[in-house]
Amino acid sequence: MSFTPRFPHFLHGGDYNPDQWLDRPDILDRDVELMHKAHVNCVSVGIFSWARLEPEDGVYVFAWLDEVIDRLWKGGIHVILATPSGARPAWMAQNYPEVLRVNDRLQRMHFGERHNHCLTSPVYRRKVHAINTALAQRYANHPAVILWHLSNEYSGDCRCPLCQEKWRGWLKDKYGTLENLNKCWWTSFWSQRYTDWSQVEAPGPMGEVSNTSMWVDWRRFSTWQCKTFIENERDAVKAVNPELLCTANLMERFWDYDYFDLAEAIDVVSWDSYPEWHSGDDVQRAAEFAMNHDLMRSFKDQPFLLMESTPSQVNWKPINKLKRPGMHLLSSLQALAYGSQSVMYFQWRKGRGGAEMFHGAVVDHDGSENHRVFRDVAQVGQALETLESLYAQPRKKAEVCIIYDTQNRWAIDYAQTGHSKNMRYYDTVNMHYRSLWQQGISVDLKDMRTCTDLSGYKLVVAPMLFMFRGGIEEKLRAYVEKGGTLLMTYFSGWVDEFDLAYLGGTPHGLMDVMGIRGTELDAIYPHDENALVMNDGRRFAIRELCEIPENRGAETLGVFENDFYAGMPCLSRNRYGEGTAYYLSAKLEQAGLDAIYGDIAQALSLTRALPDNLPKGVIATERGGAVFLQNFSGQEQRFSLSEPYTDLLTDEAMQNITMPANGVMVLKK
Ligand code: GLA
Ligand code: ZN
C-alpha cells in the first residue's frame, strides 16, 4: 500500500533544514549532490521554519522555499512538507501572549524553545490554519511534494484560562450534571465535592493532585484537545488538495496522549525511534523497539513510516554512544521488517549552532562523503533499493494480539497501590511481547477500545488490565467462549473506565471465565524470594507482585513456592466454552514467561518466521515472504538452517550461516 502515490517507493532521507543555510548556496547545491551519493530520495522540509516563512504578522515569504523545493525536484529528490506549528515566531509570542503555554505550576512561559504552544488558543489555531492554507495553495500540487508532516512530535498540556474553560466544557459534555461528575470522581472523599462548575480546575501540583479519576479524565481531555488541534491543521491543507495525505511523527513509549485515538486524525502513522544501542543488553533494546514498531503498525492497522532515527548518535541522552559497525543497517532493516515503508533520519546535515549542532547527521561538519556515517547511510539506501520488491508486501495480520492500552497505563501510573508509581506496566507488556518475538511469532497490539474483532487471533494476551473499559470483559468472554485462548494476569479488572473500583471481586466479570478470583495483591521486596513451581518441576523466580488467588475450578499448572500462600495456584488454566483461559498470578522473570509462551506456542502451533531454533539474540521476522534475520547478540553467531535460502542483500546462498555481531540478512527460499 502506498501513502505516497507520487513516489511509491521506500523512502530514504531525513529532516532537512536549508533555512539554516540560506546564505550558503554552495552548500545547498552540494546537498543535492551528496543526497544522490547517500542514496537519499526524499527529505522533510520546513519543520521549524515559521519565522522564515512569516517574518512579520501576515506577511508570507515563500521565495526561498520555492527555490529549495525546485532545486530538490530538479535533482530528483522528493519532499515531505511540514507545517511549522512546532515552534512559533517571536513576534507572535510578543503580539499574542495567549499562544504561550501555561505550565502545571500555572506560570505562563515566555518565548523560546519549541513544542510549547497553547492547544486551545483561537489565535494560534487561526494562525496555524492560515499558514497551512498558504503552504498548501503554493505547494500541494507540486510534483516533488509527496506527503504532509503535520507539526512535530505533538506533546504536553496547557493550563491557561482558555484551556481551563475548555476542560470544564468537555466535562459538562461528558457528565451532563455536576452531581454525576461528583459521583464518578468520588468527590465525597476529603470534602472534594463541587457545587458549581466554575470550581473545577485542571489537576496539578498547585491544586488537586491525587484524584485519579480526575487525572485520567485530564489525559483524555488533553488527547481530545490535541486531536482537534491536529484536525484544524489537517483540514487546512486537505481543503486545497485532499489527495495529499497527512502524517504526524509520534514517539516511543509515549504517555501524554492516547495514540490509538490520536491516530484517527492522521492518514499515516510515522514515528521517531532512538534506541540506546550498546548501553547494556541489545537484545532487550531490540525487543522494546520491535514492540514500538508493531505498536505503530497497529495504531491504524497499516504500514508506517520511520520518520526519524539517528545515523550515528544523539546528543540528548546522558551518554551519547556511536552506533557500532553494522548496527545502522541492522536497526534500519529492523524497522522495515516490522512494516516500515521508510528509513528517515534526524538530521541530514549538522548545523553550526543551536542545541542540536552535535546531534548525529548524514553530513557532518566536515561536509565530506568520506565519513563512516555517510557510508553507513549510503549502504542503507542501497539496501532499500535492493529490497524494493517488499514495498508492496506489508506485514500480514498476526495470530497473536496483545492488549496494550494507554488509558490503562495512566490509571496504573496514578494508582497508589503495590509498587507505588512503579508498577512497570509498559515493561511488563514488553516482557510478554519479548517471549513471542524471540520465537519469531508476529504480534499485533490493540487497545481495549479498538480490539473489536478478536476472533481471528489464536492467542490473546492481556497483561495487567487494571482498568476495564470498552466492554473488554464481554469481548474477552465471547472470544474464549468461541474457542480462543486468552492469557490474563494479576492486577486485572480492578476499576471501571471512571477509575472507580468494581465491587464483587476481580477480574471483574471474568472470574468464571478464568476459574480464578484474585483476592489480595502482595508487593514484595527485591530480597523476598518466591517462585512459580510448575507441575513438571520447572521453577521460575517471581519478582515484585503476587496476587493471592481463590481457585474457582481452574486446573493448576504451577504453584507458589513460598510464603503464606505457598501451594496456591500461580499459573492456572480453565476451559470455558470452546476455549481456554490461562491466569498468571505473579510477575515472573523473563525465563518463566519464555517457558509459558513456549508451551502455548506449541499447543496452538503458532506460525514462526523460521522453524529452526536460533542462537539467543538472533531474531527472525517475516515480512512479505522474506525473513529478516537479525543478530542483536553482540557476538558472531554460527548456526545452520534446515533448508537453504538466498540472502536478498548479497544474492548469496545461505544455509550454514556465520553472522557477524550486528549482522542482518534478508532470506528468501
Ligand atoms: C526529536 C525531534 C527532532 C530532533 C530529534 C533529536 O525526535 O523531533 O526535531 O530534536 O528529536 O534526536
Ligand atoms: Zn492553554
Which parts of 510-588 fold into alpha helices (H)?
A: 511-514
| Ligand 1 pocket, residue 351 CB under 6 Å | no
| Ligand 1 pocket, residue 631 CB under 6 Å | no
Distance 228 CA to ligand 2 centre (A): 14
Distance between CA atoms of residues 293 and 664, nearest Å? 17
| Ligand 1 pocket, residue 359 CB under 6 Å | yes
Yes or no: say if 60 and 54 are a contact pair by the CB < 8 Å rule: yes
| Ligand 1 pocket, residue 154 CB under 6 Å | no
Distance between CA atoms of residues 148 and 604, nearest Å? 43
**pTM for this entry:** 0.98
Q: Which three cell numbers stand for residue 380?
A: 542503507
Topology agreement, domain 400-604 and domain 618-668: no
Q: Which of 338, 227, 358 is nearest to 291 (CA)?
A: 338
Q: How many residues are recorded in the chain?
A: 669
Average pLDDT over the chain, rounded to whole?
97
| Ligand 1 pocket, residue 322 CB under 6 Å | no
Q: Mean per-residue pLDDT for 309-325?
A: 97
At residue 20, what is the residue type?
Answer: Q
CATH match of 618-668 with 2.60.40.1180? yes
Paired with 443 in beta bridges are: 400
What pLDDT does residue 188 have? Answer: 97
User: 238: Cβ–Cβ under 8 A, 6 or more apart, which residues?
Assistant: 244, 246
Atom of ligand 1 nearest to the CA of 114: 9
Atom of ligand 1 nearest to the CA of 47: 9
Yes or no: say if 363 and 348 are a contact pair by the CB < 8 Å rule: yes
Yes or no: say if 543 and 529 are a contact pair by the CB < 8 Å rule: no
CATH (one of 3.30.465.10, 3.40.50.880, 3.40.50.2300, 2.40.400.10) for 400-604: 3.40.50.880
Within 10 angstroms of residue 191's Cβ, the number of other Cβ atoms is 6
What pLDDT does residue 421 have? Answer: 86
pLDDT above 90 (res 392): yes
Q: Mean per-residue pLDDT for 317-327?
A: 97
Distance 85 CA to ligand 2 centre (A): 15
The residue whose C-alpha atom lies closest to atom 12 belonging to ligand 1 is: 314
Distance between CA atoms of residues 405 and 509, nearest Å? 19
Q: Which of 511, 478, 515, 479 is nearest to 492 (CA)?
A: 511
What pLDDT does residue 430 have? Answer: 98
Yes or no: say if 34 and 363 are a contact pair by the CB < 8 Å rule: yes
User: Pairing state of beta strands 246-251 and 145-149?
Assistant: parallel
Q: Which DSSP string corresponds to 389-417?
A: GGTT-PPPPPSEEEE--HHHHHHHHH--S
Which tens digit of pLDDT belongs to each residue from 351-388?
Answer: 999 999 999 999 999 999 999 999 999 999 999 999 99
Yes or no: say if 291 and 337 are a contact pair by the CB < 8 Å rule: no
15, 252, 346: residue to mutate for ligand 1 pocket, most atoms within 8 A of CB: 346
| Ligand 1 pocket, residue 632 CB under 6 Å | no
Q: Mean per-residue pLDDT for 505-525?
A: 98
| Ligand 1 pocket, residue 48 CB under 6 Å | no
Which tens digit of pLDDT belongs to each residue from 638-668?
Answer: 999 999 999 999 999 999 999 999 999 999 9
Q: Which three cell numbers stand for residue 25?
A: 548556496
Confidence of residue 622 (pLDDT cuts 50, 70, 90): very high
Q: How far is CA 461 from CA 100, 477, 593, in A?
A: 43, 13, 12
Q: Mean per-residue pLDDT for 579-584?
A: 98
Q: Which DSSP string corresponds to 629-650?
A: EEE-SSS-EEEEEEEEEEETTT
Distance 166 CA to ligand 2 centre (A): 9
Q: Which of 316, 288, 264 is nearest to 438 (CA)?
A: 288
pLDDT above 70 (res 135): yes
Which parts of 241-281 fold into alpha helices (H)?
A: 259-262
Confidence of residue 1 (pLDDT cuts 50, 70, 90): low
| Ligand 1 pocket, residue 152 CB under 6 Å | yes
Yes or no: say if 455 and 479 are a contact pair by the CB < 8 Å rule: yes
pLDDT above 80 (res 204): yes
Distance 388 CA to ligand 1 centre (A): 28
Which tens digit of pLDDT belongs to each residue from 268-299?
Answer: 999 999 999 999 999 999 999 999 999 999 99
Distance 161 CA to ligand 2 centre (A): 7
Dihedral angle computed from the Cα positions of residues 647, 650, 651 and 657, in that order, rounded to the nearest 10 degrees: -40
Instruction: Using alpha carbons only, give the angle 574, 578, 582 rounded to the nearest 5 degrees.
Output: 25
Which bin fits 537, alpha (ψ -120 to 50), beta or left (φ > 0)? left
Q: Which three cell numbers stand for residue 73?
A: 525536484
What pLDDT does residue 290 have? Answer: 98
**501 phi, psi to nearest 5 deg:** -60, 140
50, 356, 362: residue to mutate for ligand 1 pocket, most atoms within 8 A of CB: 356
Q: Which of 131, 226, 231, 220 is nearest to 173 (CA)?
A: 220
What pLDDT does residue 2 have? Answer: 86
Catalytic positions, please?
153, 308
Distance between CA atoms of residues 336 and 330, nearest Å? 10
Atom of ligand 1 nearest to the CA of 153: 8
Distance between CA atoms of residues 145 and 136, nearest Å? 10
Q: Which DSSP string corresponds to 469-530?
A: -TTHHHHHHHHHHTT-EEEEESS-S-B-TTSPBPSS-BSTTTHHHHTEEEEEEEE--TT---
Our measurement of the distance from residue 28's CA atom to the centroid of its chain's CA atoms, rounded to an integer in Å, reads 34
Which tens digit of pLDDT belongs to each residue from 582-609?
Answer: 999 999 999 999 999 999 999 999 999 9
At residue 227, what is the residue type?
Answer: K
Atom of ligand 1 nearest to the CA of 314: 12
The percent of residues in the chain predicted with pLDDT above 70, rounded, is 100
Which tens digit of pLDDT belongs to each residue from 417-442?
Answer: 999 889 999 999 999 999 999 999 99
Which parts of 23-121 fold into alpha helices (H)?
A: 25-37, 50-53, 63-74, 90-95
Distance 159 CA to ligand 2 centre (A): 5
Confidence of residue 148 (pLDDT cuts 50, 70, 90): very high
Domain regions of the chain by residue span: 400-604, 618-668
